[in-house]
Amino acid sequence: MILIKRQLEYSGLIMLAMLLCLIPVSGGAAIQGISGTSFNFTASSGHISAADGDDVFFWGFGERGKLPQYPGPTLIVQQGDTVTIRLNNHLPQNTSILIPGFKVQASGGTPGQITREAPAASTTEVVYTFIADRPGTFGYYSGTNPDLQVEMGLIGAIIVRPSGFSSSAPTAYGDARTAYDDEFLFLLSEMDPEIHHAVEIGTDPVPTTGFHPVLWFINGRNGPDTMSANHVTWLPNQPYNAMPSIEVGKRLLARWVGGGRDHHPFHTHGNNYDLIARDGYLLETTAGASRPASELGTVPDLAVSDFTQNVAPGGSYEGIWSWTGAELGWDMYGHTGSETGVCEPGPAPPSTIVNGFDINTREYCLDHGKPLPVVLPNAQQLTFGGFYSGSPFLASEGSLPPGEGGNNPSAGYAFMWHSHNEKELTNNDIFPGGLMTIMIVNAPDM
Amino acid sequence: MKLFCRILITLVLLGSNNVLADVVVECPTWADPGHTQIDYTGGTFADGNSDGMIRADDGEITDPISATQVCLHLAAGDGLVNMADGYEQYMFGFANATGTAAADVLNTFMEGAVFPAPTIKVKQGDDVYITLTNVGMNRRPDLFDPHTVHWHGFPNASAIFDGVPDASVSINMGSSLTYFYHVVDPGTFMYHCHVEATEHMQMGMLGNLYVTASQDEVANGTVLGTYTKQAGDRFAYNDGDGSTRYDVDYPLQLAAFDPAFHDASLNVQTLPFADMDDKYPMFNGRGYPDTLAAAGALPYEHGASSPVSTLMTPTAGDRMLIRISSLSTTSFHTIGIFGLKMQVIGRGSRQVVEPYTTNSITIGGGESVDVIVDTTGTTAGDKYFLYATNLDHLSNDAEDYGGMMTEIQIQ
Ligand SMILES: [Cu+2]
Ligand SMILES: [Cu+2]
């Protein structure tokens, strides 16, 4: 629905918000989190800022002495480490941490239904210890009254690096099939602010059966806040962004975690990914078995190519995603053919790509010099997006009417990554927002 | 009313955009005998064989710039469609304007959108030009929404032809934008408008889109691994072994309407995004039992239904390929066939590495799954129900025995 007035409001407000808040992340961005083997957590309450402007009361895990956060700190540990989490609790009810996928020993605190708990409003610690005996992506969740506490925000993610991990040649599981150039976490969740309000004003018992989520999150933020920088001061309880970017012809590792109670179909515009693992288990017939990836390199032999990942509550998924621009049928740089390049061999069969890519531009060689096959209408006939560079060509800036574009200074190709339950692209009844972000594919740094 | 709005929209078009609005069909052709100059706007060609598109290999394009050139023209705007309980819903959507002279497109297709959008079926290797003309919203002349085409799942998509308004451009009322796709991979995709996606998709800007495999073209008798190609065989993917072979295929797109949302749109009310709650679950734009009726819009007291039939009529022994996709904006759906099993051979437009057999497929918005149903052992006259096993999706609003259900009637 765009009324003329609304259109002005829309572009004006959103643009202003974007320009004020957006600090585009260029390649090499890493997953934010805390590394080590010993972590001290406190569960406490605070307010998160929903992108519709609402402050939502929440319960979160935080590093002791710091603010609670949504989601809780992402723990980045090494395979083989003995990991200890000490939790105390300022909340009005007991809480705890479950880490599905690992054999966790709990001590201290008080006994609970599923695990030992940190008692309410106390400095008494419960201590969870586990050996991170396998690499992968995992979630952690409250195991106390989880129907309410997970909704309230007591969730987080754990990344276990494989043995021998090297940040200069990273892999997810220790071999070339899971090698990547950049990695991003997408912890998906939703909230029903009515429940949060009921908790804040002390309603007892809290009605959770009428669950009606109207806020949807990636890494604890609603769109468009997903695209603001990590650790912006105006989102003190939501430190993590979700703005992936990658260069043409590189491998991106997407780590998805289902953090709420609904399924979310997460669609990757731009290309298919190869799902390489679920819940930290590689999709392979036998250890080391591989097949060619959809685009570049290899993946485990049972990897599933898809364009939408159903992220289930409590599940985790890892996918390798690349964008090569192969066989577009036109020159993505808008070269006219006079430029020379150096081509390397194409990928192995069964890929049908018979020629390779320029070693500098990573352009698909056979498309070199081919013109854009259409003539775009004039500016007055078009509505421009904030992530449009003004040109159909990669790394090119075109002329845009005043006030248009501006969110894509590297002039990369922008692709929306989002929930395809389109209802979830809203913030409390307001479109656009919710479970969405923008993935930017950049030309190589030449 | 229609005429009034038409005049109003025309005035607005002239007023706000001066004379810059322009319907332009781009089906490029060679402009000179030496094939050095391209005439990008080519011409409007007739769809000689009425397959809904203009194909060079059907001899429908004069001086095509490639032998695999295909041109389509979609009009985007509003329309009306009847649900299976007779309730008429206001909708946004697409219509197939292919072959219509540019000067006639606005008048011909205003308030002419159909649900679901026209099925796009092309071949692997095609060079596809899709011209999108925004004909405006006749029933909502206060709206100025642009539209796009998003080819959902297109591999190595470029931003400019991906149809996400935030990431590139969308086309304003009265104007045309042409998308280009060099189609590399076969498979089951889908398409939809991506402008204000929650609204435009709930309102119905959704359609089937699939690409047939080049393995279809191999000569009969060709050995494909352990399989030898027979006359009439087609293949979902270039499997190399006949494992995705089918005799007959049926696209099956799942979508659902929330009448409160559609009525709010028609009546210029605030749109209920947070309370969006679908009451009309549909297969290819119809609820049961309309799903069974032949192709062609079913007349209702006011208006008419979707023109698409979802009755499946394989001959006993056929291998049926069902190309399942979902563009539901609110729910996951689970699809089953009472009495026949499904072999999953593809998902996300790719052949699966490990096919498996199942009685149910759970599918979320933006997912596609290809299943083969082998009717060996059935007999002519047998009838099987294909339906959503979420039993609350088997209704047309308050009317029971409806919604996402159709029949497989063995011939
Ligand atoms: Cu639209
Ligand atoms: Cu889509």
Q: Which one of the ligands is nearest to A419 CA?
A: 2
CATH number at residue A206: 2.60.40.420
Give yes or no for residue B4 having a pLDDT over 60: no
Residues of chain A with pLDDT under 70: 1-29, 345-355, 446
Residues whose beta carbons lie less than 5 angstroms from ion ligand 2: B 152, 366
- Determine whether the interchain pair A324/B365 forms a contact, defined as Cβ–Cβ distance below 8 Å: no
Nearest of B41, B147, B192, B169 to residue B102 by alpha carbon: B41
> From residue A90, how far is each of A42, A201, B255 by CA, in Å?
7, 17, 46
CB contacts, 8 Å: B198 with chain A: 422-423, 425-426, 431-432
Residues contacting B191, CB < 8 A, separation 6+: B117, B120, B149, B150, B151, B152, B206, B207, B209
Give yes or no for residue B11 having a pLDDT over 80: no
Residue A24 sits at the chain B interface (C-beta within 8 Å) = no
Residue type, A304: V
The rounded distance, in Å, linking the Cα atoms of A242 and A228 is 8
Contact B70, B127 (CB under 8 A): yes
Average predicted confidence (pLDDT) for chain B: 94
Give yes or no for residue B202 having a pLDDT over 90: yes
pLDDT in tens, B315-373: 999 999 999 999 999 999 999 999 999 999 999 999 999 999 999 999 999 999 999 99
Which residue range forms the structural domain that includes residue A243?
2-321
In a domain, A376, yes or no: no
- Determine whether the interchain pair A272/B184 forms a contact, defined as Cβ–Cβ distance below 8 Å: no
Residues whose beta carbons lie less than 5 angstroms from ion ligand 1: B 147, 193, 195, 200, 205
* Residue A72: both structure tokens together: 């809780």
In a domain, A257, yes or no: yes
A28 CA from centroid of ligand 2 (Å): 28
The rounded distance, in Å, linking the Cα atoms of B346 and B354 is 9
pLDDT at B7: 52
The rounded distance, in Å, linking the Cα atoms of A221 and A238 is 7
In a domain, A378, yes or no: no
Mutate to test the interface with A, among B158, B177, B190 (most CBs of A within 10 A): B158
- Determine whether the interchain pair A302/B353 forms a contact, defined as Cβ–Cβ distance below 8 Å: yes
In a domain, A69, yes or no: yes
Contact B128, B161 (CB under 8 A): no
- Determine whether the interchain pair A2/B364 forms a contact, defined as Cβ–Cβ distance below 8 Å: no
The rounded distance, in Å, linking the Cα atoms of A253 and A269 is 15
Give yes or no for residue B2 having a pLDDT over 50: no
pLDDT at B16: 47
CB contacts, 8 Å: A267 with chain B: 152, 366
pLDDT at A2: 65
Contact B162, A415 (CB under 8 A): yes
Q: Which one of the ligands is nearest to B153 CA?
A: 2
Give pTM, 2 decimals: 0.95
Write B142-145 long-range contacts (CB < 8 A, 24+): B142/A3, B142/B268, B143/A1, B143/A2, B143/A3, B144/A2, B144/A3, B144/A4, B144/A7, B144/B12, B144/B16, B144/B172, B144/B173, B145/A1, B145/A2, B145/B92, B145/B173, B145/B195, B145/B196, B145/B200
Interface list for A 181-200 with B (CB within 8 A): none
Candidates A306, A323, A327; nearest CB to B184: A327
Q: Do domains B23-217 and B223-409 have the same CATH topology?
A: yes
Strand partners, B361: B335
What DSSP designation does B227 have? E
Residue type, A271: N
* Residue A173: both structure tokens together: 């599981």
In a domain, A338, yes or no: no
A274 CA from centroid of ligand 1 (Å): 30
Nearest of A125, A415, A6, A127 to residue B159 by alpha carbon: A415
**CA nearest to A414 within chain B:** B167
pLDDT at A4: 47
Give yes or no for residue B12 having a pLDDT over 90: no
In this structure, how many other beta carbons lie within 10 angstroms of the beta carbon of residue B66? 16
DSSP element (H, E) containing A415: strand A413-419
In a domain, A122, yes or no: yes
Mutate to test the interface with A, among B166, B209, B262, B329 (most CBs of A within 10 A): B166
In a domain, A228, yes or no: yes
Q: Which one of the ligands is nearest to B348 CA?
A: 2
Number of H helices, E strands in chain B: 4, 28
Report domain extents, chain B. Answer: 23-217, 223-409
Candidates A265, A352, A388; nearest CB to B367: A265
CB contacts, 8 Å: B354 with chain A: 302
- Determine whether the interchain pair B198/A415 forms a contact, defined as Cβ–Cβ distance below 8 Å: no
CB contacts, 8 Å: A308 with chain B: 348, 364-367
B117 CA from centroid of ligand 2 (Å): 14
Residue A349 sits at the chain B interface (C-beta within 8 Å) = no
Mutate to test the interface with A, among B156, B162, B268 (most CBs of A within 10 A): B156
Task: For chain B, give the percent of residues with pLDDT over 70.
Answer: 95
pLDDT at A347: 61
Query: What residue ranges in B56-142 does DSSP mark as E strands?
Result: 69-82, 88-96, 117-123, 127-136
Tell which CATH architecture fits domain B23-217. Answer: Sandwich (2.60)
In this structure, how many other beta carbons lie within 10 angstroms of the beta carbon of residue A74? 24
Nearest of B206, B344, B152 to residue A307 by alpha carbon: B152
**Domain count across chain A:** 1
pLDDT at A279: 98
The rounded distance, in Å, linking the Cα atoms of A215 and A39 is 30
Strand partners, B189: B209
The rounded distance, in Å, linking the Cα atoms of A116 and A60 is 18
In a domain, A381, yes or no: no
Candidates B28, B197, B352; nearest CB to A373: B28
Tell which CATH architecture fits domain B223-409. Answer: Sandwich (2.60)
CB contacts, 8 Å: B179 with chain A: 374
- Determine whether the interchain pair B153/A304 forms a contact, defined as Cβ–Cβ distance below 8 Å: no
Q: Which one of the ligands is nearest to A266 CA?
A: 2
**CA nearest to B16 within chain A:** A380
Q: In angstroms, what is the C-alpha Rg of chain B?
A: 21
**CA nearest to A191 within chain B:** B274
pLDDT in tens, B262-308: 999 999 999 999 999 999 999 999 999 999 999 999 999 889 999 99
Q: What is the ipTM of this complex?
A: 0.95
The rounded distance, in Å, linking the Cα atoms of A235 and B133 is 42
Nearest of A142, A58, A59, A44 to residue A95 by alpha carbon: A142
pLDDT at A12: 39
B146 CA from centroid of ligand 1 (Å): 6
Q: Which one of the ligands is nearest to B200 CA?
A: 1
CA distance A71 to chain B (A): 23
